[in-house]
Amino acid sequence: MQLPQGVILTYLKSHLDERGTFTELFRESWIKDTKYIQWNVVNSNARVFRGVHLHKKHFDYLSVIKGSAVFGLHDMRIDSPTFQFSAMVELNDSKLGTLIIPPGVAHGFYFFEASTHIYAVSEYWNLEDELGCHFSEKQLNLDWPEKDPLLSLHDRNLSTYEHLLRKLY
**39, 87 in Cβ contact below 8 A?**
no
- pLDDT exceeds cutoff 90 at 8: yes
Q: Return mean pLDDT, the chain.
A: 96
Q: State the greatest distance between any 2 C-alpha atoms of the chain, in Å, as a whole number.
A: 55
Percent of the chain scoring above 90 in pLDDT: 91
Other C-beta atoms lying within 10 Å of the C-beta of residue 153: 6
Helix locations, the chain, DSSP H: 153-156, 161-168
Higher-pLDDT residue of 128, 66: 66
Rounded mean pLDDT, 71-87 = 97
Q: What is the predicted pLDDT for the residue at 168?
A: 87
Is 90 exceeded by the pLDDT of residue 32? no
Mean pLDDT of all residues in 105-122: 98
Per-residue model confidence as pLDDT tens digits over 33-49: 899 999 999 999 999 99
CA pair distance 104, 74, nearest whole angstrom: 9
* Full-model pTM: 0.94
Tell me if the domain spanning 8-168 has CATH number 2.60.120.10: yes
Q: Whose CA is closest to 43, among 109, 134, 121?
A: 109
Q: Percent of the chain scored above 70 by pLDDT?
A: 100
**CA 168 → CA 32, 41, 75, distances in Å?**
27, 28, 12
Task: Give CA–CA dist 102/107, Å, rounded.
Answer: 10
Does position 169 have pLDDT exceeding 90, yes or no? no
Return the pLDDT at 1: 84
- pLDDT over 90 (residue 108): yes
What is the pLDDT, as a whole number, of residue 33?
A: 87
CA-nearest of 163, 33, 157 to 103 is: 33
